[in-house]
Amino acid sequence: MPLNDVPWIRPVTIRLQCGLERTFTGVYDALDFLENEWPLRHGERHERAVKTCRGALNGIIPGIVAREAFVAACLEVGMPAVLVPWKRKPAPHPPRPARHAAI
């Protein structure tokens, strides 16, 4: 992960046009995909996503806005987001009180 990356709290999993799924964990991954592997470069949402991701990496735009712009661009070209169950870390149980033997 690059030093200037803006990680997302919840990753985005996209179903690519070939049927495979790919997960993006932050703005840098999404921007790299938008600029280097995008199947269609003329969409309005694609351009907006590129600008938004660059703004997020520069600290001007919140990462969540870049995430939503990326998802919208993917939908524009027929690559829907795949719903992945939210994995939360299990909450630690509070310690049990010590049991004392009855005398």
Output phi, psi for 84, to 5 deg: -110, 135
Q: Check: pTM over 0.95? Answer yes or no.
A: no
Mean pLDDT of 73-100: 73
Going by C-beta distance under 8 Å and a sequence separation of 6 or more, which residues neighbour residue 4?
A: 28, 57
Share of the chain above pLDDT 90, in %: 60
Unique residue bearing structure tokens 């938008």: 34
Give the whole-angstrom CA distance, residue 101 versus residue 2.
57
CA dihedral 60, 62, 68, 70 (to 10 degrees): 50
Q: Domain-by-domain residue ranges, the chain?
A: 7-82
Q: Which of 28-37, 54-63, 92-101 has the lowest mean pLDDT?
A: 92-101
